[in-house]
Amino acid sequence: MESIFHEKVISNALKVWGLELILFNSPEYQRLGIDPINERSFICNYKEHWFTVRKLGKQWFNLNSLLTGPELISDTYLALFLAQLQQEGYSIFVVKGDLPDCEADQLLQMIRVQQMHRPKLIGEELAQLKDQRVQKTDLEQSLEVSHSYDGTGMLDEDEENLQRALALSRQEIDMEDEEADLRRAIRLSMQGSSRNISEDIPQTSGTISPPSLTSEELRKRREAYFEKQQQPEQIPHVHEKSTTSADALEIDPGDDMTEEDMLQAAMNMSLETVSNNLKTEGKK
């Protein structure tokens, strides 16, 4: 514990317990040639600060109140530690006599302790804790700033835009699927209508002629057309117009009708037949 007591005051107080102070570097003590590890206690003083280096059990401890806890000192390091204190300006006193018993001394007589980390000065620890708090505050501020500018804050907006784009894409796909289904249904419906019409219409021997032609006329023209396709080099069938002009030829009107005209005529006749059948059924 830190104290402002003078050396004589400390010496008088120790005499009550039968203890005596001897200056460690005095010629009187040096003539004794005693190894420091064979002593029991040292009192160190620098200006108004006093602390003890004491042997508890079989180990030495620095009981400086400026430290965060007792500091373990090995036997080999004790003499070097005392010499270092002297260089720093400390006055070192050897406590001679039998020290009073204490619980710590009795406990450490049975066990030895190991110190993994050297205790720090209280001011050093407070400064370190302050630095840690400052660093933590700076880190938190940096994280907040980086959260605002490193894109993290915009991540939610980007993700929202992505989700919106995916939703629109799914809607477009669904619309395309619906349109495809609609087109497929229309195609199937048209196929079904064509199949129903073909079942209702009696099968004929060929393509049906336009309404302006009879079935017999259309049959004759189809026969003429197929004969012309089978014999392309033959001269079309002609009729002599009169006995007096043998060179004047007239082509059969059926040869002028193309296949597309005949298909169109067949479609028209088919639609008319269906219409007539529907009217007949309606009358019934």
Residue 90 has pLDDT above 90, yes or no: yes
Q: What is the pLDDT of residue 30?
A: 87
**Cβ–Cβ < 8 Å for 62, 71:** yes
Q: What is the pLDDT of residue 281?
A: 67
- Rounded-to-integer distance, Cα 268 and Cα 89, Å: 129
For the domain spanning 7-110, the CATH number is 3.90.70.40
Mean pLDDT confidence for 191-219: 55
R_g of the chain, CA atoms, integer Å: 62
- Rounded-to-integer distance, Cα 242 and Cα 259, Å: 31
Three-class secondary structure of residue 200 per DSSP: helix
**Cβ–Cβ < 8 Å for 188, 194:** no
Residue 5 has pLDDT above 70, yes or no: no
Q: Which helix (H) or strand (E) holds 21?
A: strand 20-23
For the record, the structure tokens of 269 come out as 């006749």
Query: Which of residues 50 and 151 earns the better pLDDT score?
Result: 50
Instruction: Find residue 29's DSSP bridge partners.
Output: none
Mean pLDDT confidence for 169-174: 75
Q: What is the pLDDT of residue 238?
A: 42
Checking phi first, is residue 146 left (phi over 0); if not, alpha (psi -120 to 50) or beta?
alpha
**Mean pLDDT highest for which of 66-80, 236-250, 255-269?**
66-80
- Rounded-to-integer distance, Cα 196 and Cα 104, Å: 113
Query: Which of residues 252 and 181 earns the better pLDDT score?
Result: 181
